[in-house]
Amino acid sequence: MADRSAPPLLDLAQGAFLAGCWGALVESTVLLVAQHSSGLWIARGASLVRVAESALAAALVGVAAGLALLVLGRPRKWRAAGPSLVASTAGLAACAWLLLGVLPLPPAADRARLTADLVLGRLPRAGLVAVVTVAAAAAAVQVIVAAIEGRTRRRLALVVVAVAVVATISEMAAPRASVPAGRAPDILLLTVDTLRADHLGVYGYPLATSPAIDGLCRDGIVFSNAMAPTPATVPSYTSILTGLDAPAHGVLTNFDRAADSLTTVAERLVDAGYLTAAVLEGPLPGTFGNLHQGFDYVVQRGVTARSPVPCLSEALRSLGRIVGSVLADRLGWSHSVTTDAALSWLGEVPADRPLFLHVYWPYPHSPYAPPRRHLEALPAPAAATADPRVRDYDGEIHFTDAQVGRVLRTVAAEERFDGAWIVFTADHGEELGRVVQGGHGPGEPYFGHSIYLFDSSLHVPLCVRPPSDSDLKPRREPGIVTTTALAATMLEMAGLPAPDGVERPLPLAPAPAAPGRALSLAHYGERRVERISIRVDGWRLIDSRSPHPELLLLRHDASGEEEELAAADHPEVVQDLLDRLRRWQPPEGAARGRAAAAVSSREQGYLQALGYIE
């Protein structure tokens, strides 16, 4: 009967702690081996954070295992050998943690030589340090065993505190990682959703919606007339990450997915030795659009979607970010789990390899719901008749700007990022109450995108901040460019040639003005919308095929104002633009509805919340 009685709390705690130690041991081993083999090495300055996360993850495993053992009635059988087993396992876990967080393990280039030395019986200095550390840990294990079996709790506490102090001092004394000479530069691609250029201070907006973005632009090359290839997220990001326009890559709507045969910038940079990560607040430019190709590490809304290092601490991070995301949404906090994830990654990656990081925020996308303090930071509209949705849109820009600012401050605080290229842009703009006769509805103001090809939907911010040692000076580039050119531009930043068939790179170096053009497409199957347009200096021609065939000609003055003109009054201009436009048009039926049947119920709900499904 004694064996069937409830085990005492001490036995349950012993079982849970033992399971937790084993979990920590597995966690540390996975981090040590997988990261070393994959090259995604955790920088030493952040390893203590990883150890803390590992300990929490191991504790969760321990509690779960302890409860399971409680149900099975097993803990009593460990009474004889339990303390020694617990202490030995804890010692092994400590060894792994010390090897991961404290020892200066050899870089990837030295692995082959180190392996050969070990095979031939030669013990390099790193191996000698490892042996000494393991021997010291083994001695610590014996002290812990003696302390537990002798019930000398004070000695046990002193040993634990001493180990913690030594590890902390070792981390604090570790030198900052430096960038090796001749290493390729880091590239940071910061993008937001649905951001009109004319609602930022740097593009002349009177309200202070974007102080951080404006500060970045003061140090960079600002493209005054950058155009999106489409007014939809998935097609636009497919163009940004491949350098191909919509007719070439075949992704025309948010329901299409990029083909596996397409080669992204991330894939080309990985082949060149880059570490790559995509930290995205939403799956559209990630796994949903199959645009995570080439990224070593993918986090979507705080949840790790893919990583070369699957481990307990990653699962714990994802769980914590899910909770944080839900609380932020429910309570209206000024918080972004995506920004947190991006900062974690920037703080952990080593300096010996270049990195490519894409961070995406899905604001200011409708429905506009900015946190209150960001809305209150902007003045109330002067006109009582002003649509409150415009102020909400600006409030979301202010919130997004705060997230961009957090990333920029982290980058500025780390010397290793002085040599980084930083690119900031958006996938498309937004129609904020435009009234289009015969379009969305007779005389009905339209708040949204995906349907029209006016500048309000296509004119996006674009800034490139060069490295601190670059000869490029801050300036404004007035020519018309397209964000499709970013793929070739980022390859050029990395010193790589752009493949044939992609959009030529942006003019980063000052040069005589060349005639620019931007071709765009709107294909919205839900409403049978199909339009293509061309934007050249001073003109835009929109060829609407469906739902109402028509040609629309607009003229742009120096301030960017649009004026609708009668196409019949400018036949030569219309004919020239129409000829250029129709040589570019997409093939009939290209990619239409291809991925509609593959959309899961969860993804369908996400698209419905964004207004893409009615």
pLDDT tens digits for range 520-544? 999 876 556 689 999 998 899 999 8
- Residue after which a domain boundary falls, among 114, 142, 173: 173
Q: Are both 191 and 109 inside the same structural domain?
A: no
Most confident residue range from 187-191, 376-380, 560-564, 586-590: 187-191
Going by C-alpha positions, the residue among 453, 414, 447 that lies closest to residue 432 is 447
327 assigned to some structural domain: yes
Q: Are both 465 and 495 inside the same structural domain?
A: yes
48 assigned to some structural domain: yes
Going by C-alpha positions, the residue among 313, 314, 319 that lies closest to residue 298 is 314
Going by C-alpha positions, the residue among 28, 21, 20, 11 that lies closest to residue 65 is 20
Diameter over CA atoms, the chain: 101
Distance (Å, rounded) from C-alpha 571 to C-alpha 578?
Answer: 10
Q: Are both 381 and 251 inside the same structural domain?
A: yes
pLDDT, tens digit (0-9, with 9 covering 90-100), for 405-455 = 999 999 998 888 899 999 999 999 999 888 775 544 456 788 888 889 999
Q: What stretches of 260-364 show up as alpha helix (H) in DSSP?
A: 265-271, 312-331, 337-348
Both tokens assigned to 377 = 């930071």
How many structural domains compose the chain? 2
For helices 337-348 and 312-331, give the axis angle rounded to 10 degrees: 150
Q: Which domain holds residue 391?
A: 187-515+590-609
pTM value is: 0.77
Residue, of 611 and 277, whose pLDDT is higher: 277
Q: Please tell me whether residue 524 adopts helix, strand or coil conformation.
A: strand
| Structural Rg of the chain based on CA atoms | 29
- Residue after which a domain boundary falls, among 132, 148, 173: 173
Q: For strands 539-546 and 529-536, give the pairing.
A: antiparallel
Q: Are both 293 and 247 inside the same structural domain?
A: yes
355 assigned to some structural domain: yes
Q: What pLDDT is attached to residue 512?
A: 80
**Measuring CA to CA, how many Å separate 535 from each of 83, 225, 517?**
76, 10, 6
Q: Are both 383 and 429 inside the same structural domain?
A: yes
Most confident residue range from 59-73, 357-371, 379-393, 456-470: 456-470
Q: What pLDDT is attached to residue 514?
A: 74
Q: Are both 404 and 376 inside the same structural domain?
A: yes
Distance (Å, rounded) from C-alpha 191 to C-alpha 359?
Answer: 6
- Residue after which a domain boundary falls, among 147, 173, 199: 173
Q: What share of the chain is helix, strand, coil (3-state, %, to 5)?
A: 50, 15, 35
Q: Are both 460 and 315 inside the same structural domain?
A: yes
Residue 395 has pLDDT above 50, yes or no: yes
Q: What pLDDT is attached to residue 398?
A: 96
Q: Please tell me whether residue 76 adopts helix, strand or coil conformation.
A: helix
Contact 296, 374 (CB under 8 A): no
Contact 407, 425 (CB under 8 A): no
Residue 281 has pLDDT above 70, yes or no: yes
Distance (Å, rounded) from C-alpha 454 to C-alpha 451?
Answer: 10
584 assigned to some structural domain: no
Q: Are both 383 and 436 inside the same structural domain?
A: yes
Q: What pLDDT is attached to residue 345?
A: 84
Range scoring the smallest mean pLDDT among 288-302, 460-474, 544-558: 544-558
Exposure of 10 by Cβ count < 10 A (0-12 exposed, 13-18 middle, 19+ buried)? exposed
Q: What stretches of 204-336 show up as alpha helix (H) in DSSP?
A: 211-218, 233-242, 246-249, 265-271, 312-331
Category of 332 on φ-ψ map: left (φ > 0), alpha (ψ -120 to 50) or beta: left
Q: Please tell me whether residue 169 adopts helix, strand or coil conformation.
A: helix
Distance (Å, rounded) from C-alpha 536 to C-alpha 521?
Answer: 15
- Domain with residue 360: its CATH number is 3.40.720.10
Confidence class for position 471, pLDDT limits 50, 70, 90: very high
Average of per-residue pLDDT across 586-601? 43
Q: Which amino acid is at 552?
A: L
pLDDT, tens digit (0-9, with 9 covering 90-100), for 15-42 = 555 555 555 555 555 555 544 444 444 4
Range scoring the smallest mean pLDDT among 222-231, 307-316, 554-563: 307-316
Q: Are both 153 and 227 inside the same structural domain?
A: no
306 assigned to some structural domain: yes
What is the pLDDT of the chain when averaged over all its residues?
75
Cβ contacts of 35 within 8 Å, gap of 6 or more: 41, 42, 308, 309
Q: Are both 161 and 200 inside the same structural domain?
A: no
Cβ contacts of 484 within 8 Å, gap of 6 or more: 229, 239, 240, 243, 244, 245, 502, 503
84 assigned to some structural domain: yes
Q: Are both 208 and 149 inside the same structural domain?
A: no
Both tokens assigned to 512 = 């005589």
Query: Token match 């050969």: residue?
Result: 116
Contact 398, 378 (CB under 8 A): yes
Range scoring the smallest mean pLDDT among 307-321, 358-372, 385-399, 597-611: 597-611
61 assigned to some structural domain: yes
CB neighbours of residue 496 within 10 Å: 17
107 assigned to some structural domain: yes
Q: Are both 237 and 137 inside the same structural domain?
A: no
CB neighbours of residue 5 within 10 Å: 9
